[in-house]
Amino acid sequence: MLYTFSNTNDALKRAKEILYESRIYDGLLDLMKWDMSAYMPPSGREWRVESSTYMSKKQAELFTTDESHALAEYLHGVDRSKLDTDLDRGVVRRFLHIFDRSTKLPLSLQEEISDSHFRCDAAWHAARSAKDYQIWRPALEEYFELKYKAAQFIDPNKHPLEVIMNTYDEDLTVEECGKLLGELKRGVSEIMFKVVPACQDIDDSILDTFYESVADVDALIQYQDHRFGYTADKASFAKIVHAWSGTVGPRDSRVTTSLGNPGLDNLFTGAHEMGHSLYTIGSSDEVVKAGIWGGMKGSAQESQSRFYENIICRSPEYWEYFYPFVQERFPKLRSVDKDTFLRAALKVKPSFKRTSADELTYSIHPVIRFELERDMFDRKLDFKDLSRVWNDKYEESLGIRPANDLEGCLQDIHWTEDFGKFQSYPMGNIFDGALLKRVLVEIPDFYTQVSQGRFEDIHTWFGKNIHQYGFTYPTMDLMRRATGGEIESKYFLDYIRNKYYTLYGVKD
Ligand SMILES: [Zn+2]
């Protein structure tokens, strides 16, 4: 059958239907993944992998039909500036984005990537056991070359890292990202070297001993989320090995917390995952109907989770409101005043592990990984030197050198799956600095509200400026609109410098 589209309205209608159907698959796949990490018995694994692969294939087929090819051709010719609404522009952009990524790779290359991924993953585990990066290297290099090749198939005219990065952050360029993250790393490193001496003698042992049972901390996390208005009618909680948030439907998101993270850190993880969930269930009804509900992936997502985790829950104002509740539930804290507790909770200590880094030093870890990725794709980094260059960068920015590869370049699983993701965490922080600046203009008593446990205005602000749009705008565009200006690193640096200098009495 030959498909033709005679007018833009018909084409848009069909694009929305196909995107809507695709989101149904996304939801089901997330539900299967969430169940797999939370409840599925180990014996279910084989069938789950098979059924998830089948569903992904069915989803991709939505975009590979003759009709979708004809639709993509038509939509390529549409002058987007002449469309009636931003929503329609978003639909065209999203359809073509997914279409390109579903159709441009030859099947043989997709199969090679899939096989290579399993070898890369197995070699990574073997290398971790031996604490030796060189065991991983051949498989990693092979996987990288296939990803490089795939990026060139999708868009030969773009920086290959940018092509991959755009899967998550659609309109972020390697150049802009490199500039922003370079400034961030230098700025944070400078602040860190001043703050560390001021807090190195602080005793933070109370963080390991304040609770008798992990269940009490879990109850506190749920209590915290409920106080945020994330109540049982829209939230579901589970505890798994590595926390993440699943999105099953436009009004159904699943929050998880980490099994391996029993204390206060998990409270912050709970707030982080709740931030993701609020974003993904916040699309307007018309965005849901258009099939582009949820929320941008990557940096935009991280800006939302990190705002709740760091800007709110790690603020002294938040603890003015929350600490009395915590003291009431944990008797050992009744003799510890709020400021002493907070100085222990936010203590800055350079460490090797990204996932357990404190708020201040955190940004440096993923920026180092982004820089390494950029060098890989620019052919400036020989894979045999990866471990040494990694360690050099840690020494330069954090003042510490990993003693082995397990502490160094073998710690993250990301590169066995994909590249172009690490920028999302520090870019999320940069966005948060700019968002906070805007929030303080539009909600001048924001911190007073936080100190009183009032979060309605901030929820409403994010709902109006970010959440309602789903995928309507790509990341940078969305953030420029929400913040009302250019995105710069200095706002986040101002925020973090002010907070940590004040908390630990550092003179500028
Ligand atoms: Zn996150």
Q: Separation of 244 CA from ligand 1 center, angstroms?
A: 7
CB atoms within 10 A of CB 501: 16
Taking alpha carbons only, the member of 291, 248, 290, 253 closest to residue 275 is 253
SS3 content of the chain, % helix, strand, coil (to 5): 70, 5, 30
pLDDT at 355: 87
**DSSP readout, 399-424?**
S---SSTTTTTTS-SGGGT-SS-TTH
pLDDT at 291: 98
- Cα–Cα distance, 192 to 202 (Å, whole number): 16
Across the 508 residues of the chain, what is the mean pLDDT of every consecutive 10-residue run?
Answer: 87 98 96 88 90 92 96 96 97 97 93 93 95 98 98 97 97 98 97 96 94 88 84 72 83 81 85 92 97 95 97 97 95 96 97 93 98 98 98 96 96 94 98 98 98 96 98 98 95 98 94
Asked if 450 contacts 161 with a C-beta cutoff of 8 angstroms, the reply is: no
Q: Separation of 172 CA from ligand 1 center, angstroms?
A: 18
In this structure, is the dihedral angle defined by the CA atoms of residues 163, 168, 169 and 175, taken in order, positive or negative? negative
**DSSP readout, 266-333?**
HHHHHHHHHHHHHHHT---HHHHHTT--S---HHHHHHHHHIIIIIITTSHHHHHHHHHHHHHH-GGG
Looking at residue 227, its amino acid is: R
Taking alpha carbons only, the member of 175, 418, 155, 463 closest to residue 307 is 463
- Long-range residue pairs from 219-225, CB within 8 A, at least 24 positions apart, any chain: 219/329, 220/267, 220/326, 220/329, 221/257, 221/266, 221/267, 221/270, 222/270, 223/325, 224/267, 224/270, 224/271, 224/313, 224/322, 225/255, 225/270, 225/271, 225/274
Residue 495 corresponds to which tokens in the numbers above? 């925020």
pTM confidence score: 0.95
Q: Separation of 203 CA from ligand 1 center, angstroms?
A: 29
Bridge-based pairing state of the strands 235-240 and 252-258: parallel
Q: Separation of 273 CA from ligand 1 center, angstroms?
A: 6
DSSP H or E run through 352: none
Burial string for 428-456 (b: 16+ CB within 10 Å, else e) reads bbbbbbbbbbbbeeeeeebbebbbeeebe
Q: Separation of 255 CA from ligand 1 center, angstroms?
A: 11
pLDDT at 235: 66
Q: Separation of 170 CA from ligand 1 center, angstroms?
A: 17
- Cα–Cα distance, 170 to 502 (Å, whole number): 37
Q: Separation of 276 CA from ligand 1 center, angstroms?
A: 7
- Cα–Cα distance, 87 to 90 (Å, whole number): 5
Q: Separation of 357 CA from ligand 1 center, angstroms?
A: 14
Q: Which residues contact 45 (CB under 8 A, 6 or more apart)?
A: 36
Q: Separation of 275 CA from ligand 1 center, angstroms?
A: 8
pLDDT at 169: 96
Q: Which sequence spans correspond to the domains of the chain? A: 1-103, 107-157
Residue 19 corresponds to which tokens in the numbers above? 């995107």
Q: Separation of 44 CA from ligand 1 center, angstroms?
A: 27
Q: What angle do CA 285, 290, 296 make, to 5 degrees?
A: 85
Q: Separation of 64 CA from ligand 1 center, angstroms?
A: 31
Looking at residue 367, its amino acid is: V
Q: Please give the DSSP secondary-structure letter assigned to residue 358.
A: -
Looking at residue 428, its amino acid is: G
Q: Separation of 274 CA from ligand 1 center, angstroms?
A: 10
Q: Separation of 304 CA from ligand 1 center, angstroms?
A: 8
> Which residues neighbour ligand 1 (ion) by CB within 5 Å?
305
Q: Separation of 250 CA from ligand 1 center, angstroms?
A: 18
CB atoms within 10 A of CB 284: 18
**DSSP readout, 215-264?**
HHHHHHHHHHHHHTT--TTTEEEEEESS---EEEETTEEEEEEETT--SH
Looking at residue 498, its amino acid is: N
Asked if 472 contacts 86 with a C-beta cutoff of 8 angstroms, the reply is: yes
pLDDT at 356: 87
